Amino acid sequence: MGSGELRYEIAQNAYIKLVLHALKHKAAAVNGVLLGRHSDRGEAVEVLDAVPLFHSHLGLLPNLEISLLLIEEYYGSKGMSIVGYFHANERYDDTELGGVARNIGDHIFRYFPQAALLLLDNKKLEALSNGKDRSPVMQLYTRDSSKNWKLVSSDGSNRLITKEPSANVVLLDYISSGKWHDVFDFDDHLDDITKDWLNPDLFK
Amino acid sequence: MVTKSEEDQLNRLESQVDNGGGGEWEYLCLVRKLKVRRPDKVLKHGLAILNDFKKRSALGTEDWTLCEQVAIAAMDCQCLDVAKDCIKVLRKRFPDSKRVGRLEGMLLEAKGLWAEAEKAYSSFLEDNPFDQVIHKRRVAVAKAQGNISTAIECLNKYLDTFMADNDAWRELAEIYVSLQMYKQAAFCYEELILSQPTNPLYHIAYADVLYTNGGIENLQAAKKYYASAINLTGGKNQRALFGVCLCTSAIGQLSKGRNKDDKESPELQALAVAALEKDYKQGAPDKLPLLTSTLKSLRVSS
């Protein structure tokens, strides 16, 4: 089965963690990896967790390599693998999937051919407080047969959904309480190893 | 660039102020000194002082500096009415000031009126072609509109004249990295290292760029710069320690099958691994087994 009809279901905690990370570093580009597995019947990819990676120098390899090694080792023992990548651009009106995101996506694709690239949709995020939309504030890209990352249209296709339908409500709540302060990424960890990139207590 | 101890001091002050323990002016002065970007806090606490007659008078003439700081923070938070008010007050007090003129230009930027901002800045530069801040605002205008190539061109031209401006070199390096133009980024970091040879952060950034660019010569050079960063930081910087491990592994991979005499000595990597394990045992003990097995797999592949 190609990625043509595959659905991507992202767990609420993973989704919220990524958006909060982007909100913590409003003036920078940020990225993260998606962890998960195929669903039992193979009709969807379940994104069960996410790790926020960096908020500076996204285009440099050493920190990326170390983070991916540690992340793969940790989640591998829990039966999950890296199933995708999240990216938020530096500027509000930049809706393009840049070279860095595509290259990292290509690398992840080599190990997981149904990998998803998620790009933060700033306009949707801003409109979130209107309260009506249940769809994730992200754009979904998958690899097509000509090896390009193509935007999956969100018109009625529902190929990217949050597992819990009220995820956006919870997200809005966390945003208003400034929860993003508590999110730690790999950059934070490398600067101070006592900061945990697993964010185990974030949603307690 | 801020050192860890400076950042810790700032964060301590910030949480003290947030929890009502006083020290707002001290905090705002430190933010100004370190040139960090914390617009929501500056706006909140700065505005509180400005709106309190007693606290404001206690500042004497420094309240104009605070007014400027709050104006900029307000623009960063898109509270344009607050910014407009601050700038109006400053303009009344300093009617011929170029410094206030700069703020007015920034307000145009904040409103997204790029052409007007550009016009304002160009006319400033006609009067004073050596105004560094205005030159850099023009780069910001280009960058904000997504004209990255224009931004790069402007920055390069600026650095031709003002080649000692380290902030500008850093900004240019970061733009190049975001565009994956690693050779050009390396050149910027070389300038920074020449200018401040004892700043370990530049050594590490340079090594990161060399590693990313790849090839055995770059990897060997990267390893040297990670090592010098370890030297400069007394072995306390984890990025440099990880860097050494990655370089040794990558060099080993590339030189497989080559002459045994070219093989690097493994001592540096062993020392780096030992240092990392010691740090994790103390700071993040639950991650130590994960670290150990990951580093082991790095060593096996080299």
Domain assignment present for B188: no
Residues B140 and B238 in one domain: no
Domain assignment present for B189: no
Residues B137 and B226 in one domain: no
Residues B206 and B284 in one domain: yes
Q: How do residues A49-90 score in pLDDT, each as one tens digit?
A: 999 999 999 999 999 999 999 999 999 999 999 999 999 999
Residues B208 and B290 in one domain: yes
- What is the model's pTM? 0.93
Are B293 and A73 a contacting pair, CB within 8 Å? yes
Nearest to B68 by CA among B54, B55, B93, B266: B93
Q: What average pLDDT does the structure give for chain B? A: 92
Distance CA B69, CA B63 (A): 10
Please report, for the domain that includes residue B137, its CATH number.
Answer: 1.25.40.10
How many structural domains comprise chain B?
Answer: 3
pLDDT band at B258 (very low <50, low <70, confident <90, very high): low
Please report, for the domain that includes residue B98, its CATH number.
Answer: 1.25.40
Distance CA B223, CA B244 (A): 6
Last residue of a domain, one of B125, B153, B180: B180
Domain assignment present for B260: no
Residues B120 and B220 in one domain: no
User: Which residues in B lie closer than 8 A to residue A69 (C-beta atoms)?
Assistant: 294, 297-298
User: To the nearest whole angstrom, how far is the Cα of A113 from the nearest Cα of chain B?
Assistant: 24
Residues B167 and B209 in one domain: no
Mean pLDDT confidence for B137-152? 95
ipTM, two decimals, is: 0.93
Domain assignment present for B187: no
Q: How do residues A103-142 score in pLDDT, each as one tens digit?
A: 999 999 999 999 999 999 999 999 998 877 889 999 999 9
Residues B6 and B85 in one domain: yes
Task: Give chain A's end-to-end CA distance (angstroms, integer).
Answer: 38
Domain assignment present for B126: yes
Domain assignment present for B15: yes
Phi, psi (deg, nearest 5) at residue B31: -60, -40
Residues B67 and B153 in one domain: no
User: Which residues in A lie closer than 8 A to residue B246 (C-beta atoms)?
Assistant: 62, 65-66
Residues B78 and B146 in one domain: no
User: Which residues in B lie closer than 8 A to residue A92 (C-beta atoms)?
Assistant: none
CB pairs under 8 A between A and B: 75
Domain assignment present for B6: yes
Last residue of a domain, one of B68, B86, B104: B104
Domain that holds residue B46: 1-51+59-104
Last residue of a domain, one of B134, B151, B180: B180
Residues B25 and B100 in one domain: yes
Q: Would the CB atoms of B205 and A57 count as touching at under 8 Å? A: yes
Q: Would the CB atoms of B284 and A57 count as touching at under 8 Å? A: no
pLDDT band at B301 (very low <50, low <70, confident <90, very high): low
Domain assignment present for B215: yes
Residues B67 and B143 in one domain: no
Q: What letter would DSSP give residue A90?
A: S
Residues B232 and B291 in one domain: yes
